[in-house]
Amino acid sequence: MAIEVTRTYVGSIQNQQQVRDDLDSLGDSASKIWNSARWTADRIWNATGEIPDEGTLKAYMKNQPCWKDLNAQSSQKVIEELSDAFQSWFDLRQTDDEANPPGYRKHGDTRPKSTVTFKADGFKHDPENNRVRLSKGSNLKEHWSDFILCEYQTRPDVDLSEVNKVQNVRAVWNGDEWELHFVCKVVLETNDAAGDGVAGIDLGITNIATVAFPDEYVLYPGNLLKQDKHYFTRAAYETEGENGPSEKSMWARRKLAERETHFYHVLTDTIITECVERDVGTLAVSWPEDVRKSDWGKTGNKKLHSWAFDRLYQYLEYKGEIRGVEVLKENEWNTSKTCSRCGDDTTSNRVERGLYVCSSCELVANADCNGAENMRQKITPSPHGEDRSNGCVAQPSVHLFDRESGMFQSREQVVS
């Protein structure tokens, strides 16, 4: 069976010197439009007590001189991004009173190079020759046919001439140079069901994922991700400018985002591959219903809102669909305190973080493994008393992310 999915492919610009000045102008214009719209929103907000919606901002901004610095659809996209940023801030304010609204894009008297999105009428793609033509706004054109012609190169395994449709192209400043992001619709052939086995996953903050396979329990800690967050967050904070984020601060944030994305992709690839190799055709993923509305205190809320459980689920779902693994979202309510062997749900069984000791059947288990096993049993219930090996639940396999190889490996392999 074939399915249509969205993929983003990155292309390095080969004629960087020829197009950089033009792309710099577009990136600066995108920041200018953002700042003008942000100022307008602030003015209306102060006057009415309400933040203007996307439609109101677009209607006003279309009459401003900076609007025509970009292709009309590119300018509209900037307003859409600002509106989304306000909505995200509003959602965050429900649990974090100190959250700040989206700010201005400026470094003193200068503006950063913002991402510019080109929709259907803003680009013309020539995949046979690895070229894409990007539109300028009328204000920046020297003549009516003036445009930016970029020559690009993608990874060897990516051929854009084979994709169904390039939906849009984004010019992105990566801190050193411009690159192109092609957002494409791609048709993929899916595999038949991987097997009849069932596995369960407990998603967490310390142990990013704990998987209960039919024959083994595997922990995937997030130690390396935590180190990256500490280092790059500190670097961003220490180099923050008085008038907004500095270039180094933006670099640190971008680098952290790239590291996180890579980590989550490798993790979910690894889990789905393990499922296929173990004939697991169904994967039950813990879903912390309404957890974003919880109040864990100032420090806890920061961890809570950076917890990427929803992102992990999305990655698992689409990767599982391609490879024949059905990924199901299951409410995790009570799974952390319920004994996976006998069903006892005494709260005190959760002795401390990481340790579960059942007062009824005396099961001693890693708490995350116990939760993952309960997730597995939501799909394939086991009669209470069935032996799932007390030793395996107490001492699961631990797979760590190895930065050198870019893969997850057993603790023994990484240490050696």
Mean pLDDT for 85-95 is 86
Query: Which pLDDT belongs to residue 394?
Result: 62
Rounded Cα distance between 416 and 407, Å, is 15
Rounded Cα distance between 70 and 119, Å, is 12
DSSP 54: H
Give the start-end residues of each E strand in 174-213: 178-189, 197-203, 207-212
Strand (E) or helix (H) holding 150: strand 147-153
Query: Which pLDDT belongs to residue 150?
Result: 98
Mean pLDDT for 306-312 is 85
Mean pLDDT for 42-71 is 95
Rounded Cα distance between 46 and 34, Å, is 18
Query: Which pLDDT belongs to residue 384?
Result: 45
Rounded Cα distance between 331 and 313, Å, is 13
Query: Which pLDDT belongs to residue 294?
Result: 66
Strand (E) or helix (H) holding 373: helix 367-379
Residue with tokens 């051929």: 159
Rounded Cα distance between 412 and 416, Å, is 6
Task: Give pLDDT tens digits for 161-192.
Answer: 888 789 999 999 988 899 999 999 888 777 77
Please say if the pLDDT value at position 386 is more than 60: no
Residue 385: pLDDT band (50, 70, 90) is very low
Residues whose CB is less than 8 angstroms from the CB of residue 269 and which lie 6 or more positions away in sequence, other chains included:
319
Query: Which pLDDT belongs to residue 264?
Result: 93
Residue with tokens 């996953």: 201
176 or 328, greater pLDDT? 328
Query: Which pLDDT belongs to residue 301?
Result: 62
**pTM tops 0.85, yes or no:** no
Query: Which pLDDT belongs to residue 354?
Result: 82
Name the nearest CA neighbour of 79 among 121, 122, 43, 32: 32
Least confident interval from 146-155, 278-287, 380-389 = 380-389
Annotated domain spans of the chain: 2-189, 197-415
Residue with tokens 């989550």: 264
Residue with tokens 């983003």: 8
Residue with tokens 């940023």: 85
Mean pLDDT for 327-351 is 89
Strand (E) or helix (H) holding 267: helix 247-277
Mean pLDDT for 384-401 is 67
Instruction: Please give the distance of CA 215 from its chain centroid, rounded to a whole number.
Output: 30
Residue 2: pLDDT band (50, 70, 90) is confident
Please say if the pLDDT value at position 200 is more than 70: yes
Answer CATH for 197-415 from 3.30.420.140, 3.30.1330.90, 3.30.1540.10, 3.20.20.140: 3.30.420.140
Rounded Cα distance between 44 and 35, Å, is 14
Burial class (CB in 10 A: 0-12, 13-18, 19+), 155: exposed
Query: Which pLDDT belongs to residue 173?
Result: 93
What is the share, in percent, of the chain residues with pLDDT greater than 70?
90
Please say if the pLDDT value at position 389 is more than 60: no
What is the share, in percent, of the chain residues with pLDDT greater than 90?
54
Mean pLDDT for 101-107 is 89
Query: Which pLDDT belongs to residue 255?
Result: 86
Q: Which amino acid is at 143?
A: H
Whole-number average pLDDT of the chain: 88
